Structure 1
Amino acid sequence: MSTPSKESSRGPHAGLPQPTGLARDTAFGLFLVVLGAVAWIASGILVLERLALYKDANHTTSCDFNPWVSCGTVMKSGQAALLGFPNPFLGIVGFGVVITIGMALLAGAKFKRWYWLGFQGGVTLAFIFIVWLWSQALYEINALCLYCMVVWAMMIPLFIHTTSRNIVTGVIPAGAGLRKFAAEWAWVITVLLLVLTAASVFVRFPQAFIGAGN
């Protein structure tokens, strides 16, 4: 009887190219820790500001700069507590998980495919939620929240590069062409989405940046 080859014993990802860049566990772990920490801090500040507003409805938040950039205005909207409690509490929990996974990767942890699929699902749902919040801020609430925008800026690369990594490593089944595209174009797509998001904010609220009446 023949013995299994080294290639076949490596599991479902056998035959895939060696991961490079952010597809590598260590690099991706550091990436998750940095992005997760920035978004977690922003979410934490929003929680503190929301608690201050509960205590004093006239509290002026640290990012109430003008009528268009006002965390207080956004926090008092119905969209800011979609599930009945302030949205930043979701960020505290969710980005805490992101940081934990990143630290585990830096420590050498290896996760099963089902775990990465679960992480992909969570990041995807969070990204969809962020897109919805972006649309609500620009076209319904008509005000911006500085710390919310920091979270938006972190979610874009988190979603793009998590998806890219999962395609490159075979977690998401894909042909060689798509794997190559995901590896080579992830940063381009990330920058493009960040630029488009910033442009949409500027076009919607030009007076917040150039000053009314100037």
Structure 2
Amino acid sequence: MTTSASALDDSPAQRSEPAARADRRWGLVALMTGLLGFYGAATLVYERVQLFLDAGHRTSCDINSWLSCGTVMRTPQAEAFGFPNPFIGLVAYAVVVAVALAVLAGARFAAWYWWGVQIGVTLGWLFVLWLWYQTTFEINALCLYCMLVWVMQTVLVVQTTARNLRAGVLPAPAAVARGAEQWAWFAAAALLVLIFGTVLIRFAGVIFPA
């Protein structure tokens, strides 16, 4: 009963104003994270092209031995699918921005469409987690623009999940669906503390030399 009632959020004929306002809030968050994520990916694409043209190119975030985009870009993990990873970000964040703008303009999408958005942002976040593990524990170097993408993707996946729980797209108990958006920012912050706390511990020796 709860799911069918909340699913009315995605019915154009019966959509409530509070649900519409909630979707506009999601649209603003998605637009912000999409634009910043696109900026990070575009900057990485530019730097990767410069490395293709000049193998000795020093990237804009080559700060030291452990905070270096160039070091990360020169590893096999930077081309997980046979081409530079940032190209994925360019396409994915362009889609996010397009969906966000459509929602802000008043567009309404069916539940199956929101399932597609949910799957897309979740797969993107899982890929980010893989990259976080690789840079932190295998490559032993960090990339500033990559970390910007980590933050944006984490916020995006949590906010999208909260939106879909509230709208009844993702089945959940009524209490969870009602409280999802209230706890979304806390959940995103907790995940980021875990991610960057691990990075801080891992690189503590070089960040805080004895």
Relative to the length of structure 2, the TM-score reads 0.90
Q: Deviations over 1:18-66 (max 9, x none)?
A: 6859971211111111110001001000000000000111111000111
**How many positions carry a matched residue from both structures?**
203
CA contact (8 A) 2:72 2:135 kept: yes
Given that residues 19 and 168 in structure 1 are in contact (C-alpha distance below 8 angstroms), is that contact kept between their aligned partners in structure 2? no
Please say if residues 13 and 169 of structure 1, whose CA atoms lie closer than 8 Å, have aligned partners that are also in contact.
Answer: yes
Distance change >3 Å, CA 22–CA 70, structure 1 → 2? farther
User: Does structure 1 residue 45 correspond to structure 2 residue 43?
Assistant: yes
The reply on whether 1:144 has 2:142 as its aligned counterpart is yes
Residue 174 of structure 1 is matched in structure 2 by 172
In our comparison, the structure showing a higher alpha carbon Rg is 1
Is 2:107 the partner of 1:113? Answer: no
The equivalent position to 1:13 in structure 2, one of 2, 7, 10, is: 7
Q: Which amino acid aligns with 1:132?
A: W
Q: CA deviation at 1:209?
A: 3.1
Indicate if the aligned counterparts of 1:19 and 1:169 stay in contact, CA closer than 8 A.
no
Per-residue deviation at 1:207? 4.2
Question: How far did 1:181 drift?
Answer: 3.5
Unaligned runs of 5+ residues in structure 2 are: none
- Would the alpha carbon gap of residues 18 and 206 (structure 1) be closer, same or farther in structure 2, given more than 3 Å must change? farther
Counterpart of 1:28 in structure 2 is: 26
Compared CA separation, residues 15 and 77, structure 1 to 2 (3 A)? closer
* CA RMSD, 1 decimal: 2.3
Partner of 2:7, secondary structure, is coil
Q: Is the helix fraction higher in 1 or 2?
A: 2
8 A contact 2:40–2:149 mirrored in 1 = yes
Note if contact 1:42-1:151 (Cα within 8 Å) is conserved in structure 2: yes
Structure 1 partner of 2:191? 193
Alpha-carbon shift at residue 14 of structure 1 (Å): 3.6
Structure 1 residue runs of 4 or more that deviate by more than 6 Å after TM superposition: none
SS at match of 1:24: helix
Aligned-residue identity in percent:
44
Residue of structure 2 equivalent to 1:130: 128
Q: TM-score scaled to structure 1, two decimals?
A: 0.88
5+ residue gaps, structure 1: 1-9
1:60-139 pair list within 5 angstroms: 60-139=58-137
**Which one-letter code corresponds to 2:81 in the other structure?**
L
Contact 1:46 1:88 in 2 (8 A): yes
Cα distance in 1 for residues equivalent to 2:32 and 2:171: 28
With over 3 angstroms needed to count, the CA separation of the structure-2 counterparts of 1:65 and 1:169, relative to structure 1, is: same
Q: Give the drift of 1:184.
A: 2.5
Give the counterpart of 1:58 among 56, 59, 80: 56
For residue 151 of structure 2, the aligned residue among 150, 153, 163 is 153
Partners of 1:35 and 1:71 lie apart in 2 by 21
Take 2:158 and 2:170, find their aligned partners in 1: how far apart are those partners?
13
Which amino acid is 1:101 matched to?
Answer: V
Listed one character per residue, the Cα deviations across residues 91-110 of structure 1 (whole Å, up to 9, x for unaligned) are 00000000000100111111
> One-letter code of the match for 1:90?
I
Provide the rounded CA distance (Å) in 2 between the counterparts of 1:21 and 1:154.
24
Equivalent-residue separation in structure 2 for 1:156 and 1:174 (angstroms): 21
